[in-house]
Structure 1
Amino acid sequence: MGVADRLEFRLLGPVEVWRGPERLAISSRHQCCVLAALALCPGRTVSVSALVDAVWDEEPPSSARRQVIKLVCRLRGALGDAIATCSSGYALNAEPDQVDAGVFASSLAGARRLSAADPAGAAAAARAALRLWRGPALSGVTPCLAAQARRLEEDRLASLEEAVGWELIAGEHAGLVAELTALVAAHPLRERLVGQLMSALHRSGRTAEALEVYQRTRERLADDLALEPGAELQQLHVAILRNDATLAAPIPLPAPAPLAAARPAAAAVPRQLPGAVSRFTGRADQLKELAGLLDRQDSVAIAAITGTAGVGKTALAVHWSHRIADRFPDGQLYVNLRGFDPSGEPVAPSDAIGSFLGALGVPAERIPAGLADRSALYRSELAGRRMLVVLDNARDAGQVRPLLPGSAECLTVVTSRDRLGGLIAGERAHAVSVDLMTTAEARDLLANRLGPECLAAEPQAVDDLIELSAHLPLGLSIVAAQATLAATLSLTELAGQLREARDRLRAMDIGDACVDLSAVFSWSYRTLSAAAARMFRLLSLHPGPDVSIPAAASLAGTGLDQARPALSELTRAQLLAETGTGRFACHDLLRAYSAQTARQDETEQARHVALHRMLDHYLHTAHAAALLLNPFNDRLSLAAPQPGAVVGELVDGEQARQWFAAERPVFPGVVARAADAGFDLHAWQFACSVADFCIRAGHWTQTVAAQLVATAAAERAGDPDGQARSLRELGRAYVQLGRFPDARSSAVRALEADESLGDPLGQARDHTVLGIVAYLQGDYQEAIESDRIAYELFGAAGHRAGQADALNGIGWMQTKLGRHAEALRYCTKALELQQTAGNMHGEADTWDSLGCIHHHLGEPKIAVACYHAALDLYQKVGVRHPQANTLIRLGDTRQAAGDTHAAHRCWRRALLILDDLHHPDAGTLRARLTEHPPAS
């Protein structure tokens, strides 16, 4: 990117964006808020929830998340690809030197490095950095960013104080009096500025005025805060009263010795880190990320290591701290803040600081009582020291803030189950997320505990144990301990016992509360609000793998507005992970704990009612989505949803497709959960509602499994209509898998049920399936007869789109028999009916048939046009396998016309679809591409 195209983000004043010399228009305050929140941490992900908080200073509206997404889209209109979409939010694709706040921080760091040898040069560099400010930081944005604005303003004032200090060292006191007088008037309680003004006045021969400044400050502190001036200011006052000669001369340059060596020899050097982690494994990415902080320590002094219970946050923090301990010669402080402790009592920040001060050699009588005074003394003790501070198991950002050093020479490492969003936003902590282990990392952990030979002897059992432990380090460690304690038990037998256990968490108990998974998880669970705890319990009823907000709201029966805060709280507590926009999941061991709490704290009736609401959500939403995608699908007679069930508000086919695509992995579990819980009507109705989408999208194996469950459910309920519908969809799925005998058997059974019901529409659909089976088995005449019967039955039912489908089927068989003119007549009539009825699926099928007919009639141009019309419609309705078939036939027509390159392009596009669907025809098509390469 050239200089003229380079984006610059300005936060030190009104929020602005510039592209080279041009200021870009940001049309609203809300857009400025989103932009500022992203620019405060360039290159790092900011969640949608955090952006919502940045935009609304009061209770956000129910549409807040959607509005934020729209605001980001509008910003992209101005910024292009500068905003990236991440798994849990958005990130600004910018380097720190593209943000004036980042330039300011790096410039100040450079000035500090220069200060020992050249204080005048350091002051000049600091003054240049301060000229980046154009007014109050983040001007014009919401009060929700006020904390960040205050932090930036504090950085500005602290940097100004440093610049003034270096100028005083360089002997420039006379020129500073006027500026310092104005600064003290604006900030009368900043004792460092007061002291600098007193020094400048005294050195300029204005000692009486210096003493007056002290007296005014002392009176102001006493009146406003009932406090005396701090020790440094009092000492300066005494030195001026004594006319100390050292104050009259320019302050000498400090010796070039390192900070640690400059401290008194008696200064305490604490070494409080816990013992090094034995045989630490994995976490290479996180260790690399943490190592990068050392190179940026002048601007990023806090590493926030977050993750769910048992994921190994403390092990990572302690392991890395030992690796870098020699970089901090003034010592290492450590405290377990017990934020998620079985006692339920986190360590008070005041107590933690008291312990740290003692370790730093501060006598007990000098340690103040109040938190503010302790925190101030703690920061003073760390000033000039290069120390590592490890704050383990923090409850939240509020517990951590008083324990943060004030010096960039120190590095703080925080671990927590909380996401510490406030610390990341307000104190610029660098987030390091610790997730479940990869399979390779899990293998390494087990190999370290059990030995590589043990793993090599039973590789499948090792894979099973990793899955049963949910890739959770604590779970893997427990499994390794169980294998060690039960030496006579093979890994295969251990995996079998865990798999068959009704309560896996109890089966993994080794008698130590510190590594009891239920106990460890409970320490997070007990911190939840009542609403979030109930949501956590009820989520165990969802079949997974992930859950949407409407489905979660239906389980809780609370509505969307109440469900969102509960899910957000669970996410902050790391009991859930947001896997995509508005979708949440947890690993299997947390799910098992969730089920345990549901059994303990929810009655059986409450669980049954919650499950009923969830199934109503899926059934009613799926049925509505199916009709939006294809209005000619059969309508089912659904019972009214239970109170509290949320039915998805889908308005068009595109939204329906998006819902189906997002929820499709959940479908098998919903059918199975409904059947297992005795909701047989829900089981077969839901399976039938999603069948058409799944079949057209190529999910045939999943459809077979679901329809087998649905058929059994309908039989248990004594529901012949449900049996017929389920068997018919089962037959359609068998067709796609090439299991033609099974397809015929299912369709015949469906036909028998529909004949007993006297349902002509159902019979027509059954004959259509039988016609397809006959065609695929090469019996074209039987296929024609099945479609003729279907045509008559569709007519009796008044279903014109079905009649058109039957006519198209007859036309297709005619062309297979070489009767192309007859085929053209049938398919032309079918197309007219489809277009009149507005059946896009059927119209696409008929255009494909017409393409094949015109190909055989020797009319390639017309054939190509027909195939393209079919492809356009297939893409609009979102079906994939028919697209592959049409592309293959289009390629055949291109090949016949002599355009082998175009033919291969068509076949390759088809092959991509077939490979993605794992379709058996992919091998045949791949062979064709290999055997008949295009002419050079």
Structure 2
Amino acid sequence: MRVELRVLGEVELLVDGTRVDLGHARQRCVLAVLVAQANQVVATDQVVDRIWGGHPPSRARQLVSNYLSVLRHLLAAGGVADEVVIRRRAGGYVLLVDPDRVDLHRFRSLVAAARADPDRTSALESLERAAGVWRGEALTGLDTPWIAAVRQGLERERFAADTDRLDLALRAGRHAALLPELTARAAAHPLDEHLAAQLTLALYRAGRQADALDHYRRLRRRLADELGADPGPDLRHLHQRILAADPALAVPAAGARRPPVTPRQLPAAPALFTGRTAELAELDRALATPDEGSPGRPATAVVPVIAGAGGIGKTWLALAWAHRNLHRFPDGQLFVDLHGFSPTGRPTEPADAVRGFLTALGVDPDALPADVDALAASYRGLVAGRRVLVVLDNAATVEQVVPLLPGSATCAVLVTGRARLASLVDRHGAHHLPLALLTRAEARALLAARLGDRRVDRESEVTDELVELCGGHPLALAMIARHAATRPSIPLAESAAELRRLGLEALDHDSDPAASLPAVLSWSLRRFTDEQRTVFALLGTAPGPDIDLPAAMSLTGLPEARARKALRALDDHFLLDRHPHGRYSMHDLVRAYATTTAHDHLSEPVRRAALERVVDFYRYTADTADLVLQPLRPPARFDPPVPGTHPLPVPDHETALAWLDTHHAHLLAAQRTAAAHGRHEAAWHLAWALTTFHLRRGHRHDELAVWRAAVDAAGHLADPAALIHALRRLGHAHAEIGRHEEAIAHLHHALAVAEHHHDPGQQARTHHALAWAWEEREDNRRALAHAGRALALCRGLDQPVWEADALNAVGWHEAHLGEYAAARDHCETALVLHREHDDPDGVADALDSLGFIDHRTGHHDRAVDRYQQALALYRSVGNTAEAVDTLDNLGHPHAALGHHDRARAVWREALDLYRQLGRDTDAERVGKQLDDLDATPEWSRRPEPVATGLPATAVPDDRLPRS
């Protein structure tokens, strides 16, 4: 039984030549939808849209189901239910049929076979059979927007196939038989130059030179009148050859072939190529050529894609590898610059590139087909079985590359480009080779190769600085080397100074775009949308070393999907580097270009609004995180974030610490940005939001920096409490790093302002800070006096947590003056209050103080227990700065009990943490404690007797805890 489905004419089902009635037009339209995508699932919504367009009836999905049920019944009645099967699949329907039984798919198969066939005779036969499949206008009698679009697409396919068929028939000498068809086609398509060339050539070969020249003149006049253009170079060249009676235009002799050609198109190898050892080895592995028939041999050419930013050295690497491996490709090397990213901004068309390859392979330019698929098929046929290297340089899109891929595993292809060409990897198994910046050693070697070892060694430190300033960017280094090599009398130090001063401007070149890094970078932006270019520019202005998606959303004001798409586009073109956990960064030189782009192409209000949004994103997310870390902090009121800001929720303590750890550098940069733009409340707010984190993580110098900025900002704010608080925190920060005079001065300034404004709360906290500052100066009497004053003020404020802090401070200073009984009472009262108000930091502080008191009074076991409880609490809230001091303190009662291994363990941990925190003095002291412990005689390592509660004068004076 012969079954045939036909859509290249009316929609028909034929069984043994007899038509089956398929019902009304809409039912035939449903069948056409499934036939067009035979053996592929078509979603139900797509079927509905293709039948009714944008106005489906309410029961559209049910109607589709009904039509398909009728069609199934018709297939069964015709006895072909096993040959043509309509099935319901997840989300849609599929028509299962042998493609050869569908005229559309048979047509496409014949055309594809012809284009892949190197034998022109059999290719022409296939195209003639393909032409015979058509019975008229496709999908005759049906009319929907989708049908119209499909019909137009099929007409274009038919036209291209007929063009190829006529080309082959002309080459076969059938010009006389073709004249009627060519004349009719030329009348229907009067501006088609390729068709005009076919008719002109046929007329000339038929002995009608005058008609051929007349047709050319008429076309030239029509092009000028209607389009204001002249004929293209191919048609003009044919005209000149006819005028010259070129013998090559005569009908080619049967079986005539041009001699084979071995192309040698590679440009010269890059001079003074250095480094890239790992990448060259990777290319060797990727392009290894196993013996024919060996296991694992690929069925098609291997395609490494060397991808990276502009100026990173992709072409250098490709050419260096190619020239080192010429012996492997005796049948030739093909090279094309696809101009994906170039000064002209016009990428090479795939058809033009294939024509160039075919010409290099010896094909007569006049014998080339017009259609890119036919060109590609001829190209693949010519290189099949030959050992040819193909280098496709500077590709922008997969569409540029695919027609240039050989179909033979004997060939190898190297592709370079600034885009990742993802679908080339997905669909063609390309090997992605991202090209990174040069290592320090490679960068230095590049300069040495250009300038000579003697000059580089003579100015070694300056060379290292140039490498650092260029960030390992090959083009930047090459530009510096070129400048230095052409001016040998100018010291490298001047180049370094110029690069430091001018930045990216020093790498610009007005007259030669290829020698200008800004120009090279600008070519990468041409393929982007306006939105993507704006995102690129704004990222250059963003505070901090890198950015993630949430921050980018606020910076750009874009919703998540659009921001993510823009970041992905920039990452795909190597203008951004993606790191783990969704972070994106820019090379310093790329970022400098982005910043310049922002100032040159974005208005000041746009830039300012973006910075306001991202600063508010950071400060309000930090504020939320700070509230999670310190829920008992006093409230503060700030203006709401600017519109378009999307601060993150911070659900728990672990998330808060992790976010602050990750974004610490961004928060510091955000404060600097806020201060530079006069956003004084934001600058103050960021210092406020960071303090708890700074104290817990031990960021002493950063704490000093943010409160210096906050004091400046507070001078512009109306609330005097902002200035008092900033001065107090600044004084505390000075005391933390041992700047005692500055600490006392700022704290007394804060106290004076608090007293002037009758603010007892600020007075209490400032006295508390003064107590700690005087303790740092080892004046415990003054410290106790300020602590007592703080306690008295707190008792009148209804601030139980502050009162507990003050009680603990009084007890701590009393303990250092030997007043242990009073100290214990105050600290135990503080402990109770902190526990009542669920303040883990405060509980830990009180336990640490009680541990100190117990140790100093000889209760070493109890001291160990107190310290261990405090340590666990500090660790639970991420308070590294306090935890390390408690570790230090814990070692002393362990040592007093003769538990030297335990003492050694906690002191070693404390030593490592002090070093990580940059507290060198403390690290040195703990190191000495460890040395003294190791020097203790073995016989003395035994538990000490429990003391009576009197001062243990033999116990060393421990490191003092914090305020």
Alpha carbons 1:478, 1:510 under 8 Å: kept: no
| Other-structure match for 1:551 | 551
| Other-structure match for 2:284 | 291
| Other-structure match for 1:568 | 568
Task: Kindly provide the amino acid, as one letter, of the partner of residue 555 in structure 2.
Answer: L
Alignment deviations for residues 602-626 of structure 1 (CA, whole Å, 9 cap, x no partner): 1122222222222222222222211
Give the 3-state SS of the residue equivalent to 1:322 in structure 2: helix
Separation in 2 of the partners of 1:551 and 1:290? 38
Shift, 1:337, TM fit: 0.7
| Other-structure match for 1:595 | 595
Shift, 1:661, TM fit: 1.1
Give the 3-state SS of the residue equivalent to 1:333 in structure 2: strand
1:467 correspondence with 2:468: yes
1:659 correspondence with 2:659: yes
Alignment deviations for residues 702-744 of structure 1 (CA, whole Å, 9 cap, x no partner): 2222322332233355764333333322233323323233322
1:400 correspondence with 2:310: no
Alignment TM-score, normalising by the size of structure 1: 0.71
Give the 3-state SS of the residue equivalent to 2:650 in structure 1: coil
Q: How does 1:623-634 map to 2 (within 5 A)?
A: 623-634=623-634
Task: Compare CA radii of gyration and give the structure with the larger one.
Answer: 2
State which drifts further: 464-473 or 608-617.
464-473
Separation in 2 of the partners of 1:314 and 1:572? 18
Alpha carbons 1:628, 1:653 under 8 Å: kept: yes
Task: Kindly provide the amino acid, as one letter, of the partner of residue 879 in structure 1.
Answer: N
1:856 correspondence with 2:849: no
1:349 correspondence with 2:350: yes
Alignment deviations for residues 189-221 of structure 1 (CA, whole Å, 9 cap, x no partner): 8789999xxxxxxxxxxxxxxxxxx99998578
Separation in 2 of the partners of 1:222 and 1:875? 82
Separation in 1 of the partners of 2:855 and 2:325? 73
Separation in 2 of the partners of 1:758 and 1:509? 64
Distance of aligned partners of 1:793 and 1:558 in 2 relative to their CA distance in 1, 3 Å threshold: farther
Q: How does 1:638-717 map to 2 (within 5 A)?
A: 638-715=638-715
Task: Kindly provide the amino acid, as one letter, of the partner of residue 264 in structure 2.
Answer: R
Shift, 1:276, TM fit: 0.9
Identity of counterpart residues, as a percentage? 36
Shift, 1:383, TM fit: 1.7
Separation in 2 of the partners of 1:374 and 1:930? 81
Alignment deviations for residues 479-515 of structure 1 (CA, whole Å, 9 cap, x no partner): 22222344443222332233223x6326643642112
Q: How does 1:324-723 map to 2 (within 5 A)?
A: 324-501=325-502, 504-505=504-505, 508-509=508-509, 511-715=511-715, 720-723=720-723
Distance of aligned partners of 1:795 and 1:376 in 2 relative to their CA distance in 1, 3 Å threshold: farther
Give the 3-state SS of the residue equivalent to 2:376 in structure 1: helix
Alpha carbons 1:388, 1:412 under 8 Å: kept: yes
Alpha carbons 1:687, 1:706 under 8 Å: kept: yes
Alignment deviations for residues 129-155 of structure 1 (CA, whole Å, 9 cap, x no partner): xxxxxxxxxxx9999xxxxxxxxxxxx
Separation in 2 of the partners of 1:615 and 1:283? 40
| Other-structure match for 2:892 | 892
Separation in 2 of the partners of 1:215 and 1:513? 51
Shift, 1:533, TM fit: 0.9
Alignment deviations for residues 3-38 of structure 1 (CA, whole Å, 9 cap, x no partner): xxxxxxxxxxxxxxxxxxxxxxxxxxxxxxxxxxxx
Distance of aligned partners of 1:373 and 1:507 in 2 relative to their CA distance in 1, 3 Å threshold: closer
Aligned residues: 714
Shift, 1:330, TM fit: 2.0
Shift, 1:395, TM fit: 0.5
Alignment deviations for residues 305-326 of structure 1 (CA, whole Å, 9 cap, x no partner): 1111121111122112222222
Give the 3-state SS of the residue equivalent to 2:524 in structure 1: helix
Alpha carbons 1:392, 1:414 under 8 Å: kept: yes
Task: Kindly provide the amino acid, as one letter, of the partner of residue 406 in structure 1.
Answer: G
Distance of aligned partners of 1:758 and 1:284 in 2 relative to their CA distance in 1, 3 Å threshold: farther
| Other-structure match for 1:869 | 869
| Other-structure match for 2:731 | 731
Distance of aligned partners of 1:585 and 1:354 in 2 relative to their CA distance in 1, 3 Å threshold: same
Task: Kindly provide the amino acid, as one letter, of the partner of residue 738 in structure 1.
Answer: G
Alpha carbons 1:301, 1:412 under 8 Å: kept: yes
Q: How does 1:229-308 map to 2 (within 5 A)?
A: 267-295=260-288, 298-299=297-298, 301-308=302-309
| Other-structure match for 1:831 | 831
Separation in 1 of the partners of 2:110 and 2:603? 62
Alpha carbons 2:507, 2:517 under 8 Å: kept: no
Give the 3-state SS of the residue equivalent to 2:285 in structure 1: helix
Task: Kindly provide the amino acid, as one letter, of the partner of residue 785 in structure 1.
Answer: A
Give the 3-state SS of the residue equivalent to 1:305 in structure 2: strand
Task: Kindly provide the amino acid, as one letter, of the partner of residue 280 in structure 1.
Answer: F
Shift, 1:336, TM fit: 0.8
Distance of aligned partners of 1:541 and 1:215 in 2 relative to their CA distance in 1, 3 Å threshold: closer
Give the 3-state SS of the residue equivalent to 1:505 in structure 2: helix
Distance of aligned partners of 1:220 and 1:352 in 2 relative to their CA distance in 1, 3 Å threshold: closer
Alpha carbons 2:342, 2:523 under 8 Å: kept: yes
Shift, 1:340, TM fit: 0.9
Alpha carbons 1:505, 1:593 under 8 Å: kept: no
| Other-structure match for 2:194 | none
Separation in 2 of the partners of 1:841 and 1:578? 38
Alpha carbons 1:537, 1:598 under 8 Å: kept: yes
Alpha carbons 1:688, 1:729 under 8 Å: kept: no
Alignment deviations for residues 550-574 of structure 1 (CA, whole Å, 9 cap, x no partner): 2222222223333221211111121
Distance of aligned partners of 1:215 and 1:441 in 2 relative to their CA distance in 1, 3 Å threshold: closer
Give the 3-state SS of the residue equivalent to 1:391 in structure 2: strand
Alignment deviations for residues 509-556 of structure 1 (CA, whole Å, 9 cap, x no partner): 364211212211111112111111111122222122112222222222
Task: Kindly provide the amino acid, as one letter, of the partner of residue 342 in structure 1.
Answer: P
Shift, 1:663, TM fit: 0.9
Task: Kindly provide the amino acid, as one letter, of the partner of residue 703 in structure 1.
Answer: E
- In structure 2, the gaps of 5 or more residues are 1-42, 46-88, 93-97, 115-123, 135-156, 169-256, 291-296, 939-963
Instruction: Give the CA RMSD over aligned residues.
Output: 3.4
Shift, 1:394, TM fit: 0.8
Distance of aligned partners of 1:683 and 1:519 in 2 relative to their CA distance in 1, 3 Å threshold: same
Distance of aligned partners of 1:536 and 1:906 in 2 relative to their CA distance in 1, 3 Å threshold: same
Distance of aligned partners of 1:194 and 1:320 in 2 relative to their CA distance in 1, 3 Å threshold: closer
> Equivalent of 2:133, from 198, 202, 223?
223
| Other-structure match for 2:36 | none
Alpha carbons 2:545, 2:585 under 8 Å: kept: yes
Alpha carbons 1:272, 1:332 under 8 Å: kept: yes
Shift, 1:472, TM fit: 1.5
Shift, 1:911, TM fit: 1.7
State which drifts further: 847-856 or 803-812.
847-856
| Other-structure match for 2:941 | none
Give the 3-state SS of the residue equivalent to 1:569 in structure 2: helix
| Other-structure match for 1:154 | none
Separation in 2 of the partners of 1:730 and 1:441? 46
Separation in 1 of the partners of 2:708 and 2:600? 33
Alignment TM-score, normalising by the size of structure 2: 0.69
Alpha carbons 2:309, 2:418 under 8 Å: kept: yes
Distance of aligned partners of 1:566 and 1:903 in 2 relative to their CA distance in 1, 3 Å threshold: same
Shift, 1:396, TM fit: 2.2
Separation in 2 of the partners of 1:676 and 1:756? 30
Distance of aligned partners of 1:217 and 1:404 in 2 relative to their CA distance in 1, 3 Å threshold: closer
Separation in 2 of the partners of 1:759 and 1:671? 27
Separation in 1 of the partners of 2:638 and 2:423? 47
| Other-structure match for 2:801 | 801
| Other-structure match for 1:315 | 316
Alignment deviations for residues 406-459 of structure 1 (CA, whole Å, 9 cap, x no partner): 222222211111122222222222221112222222222222222233333334
Shift, 1:688, TM fit: 2.5
State which drifts further: 804-813 or 742-751.
742-751
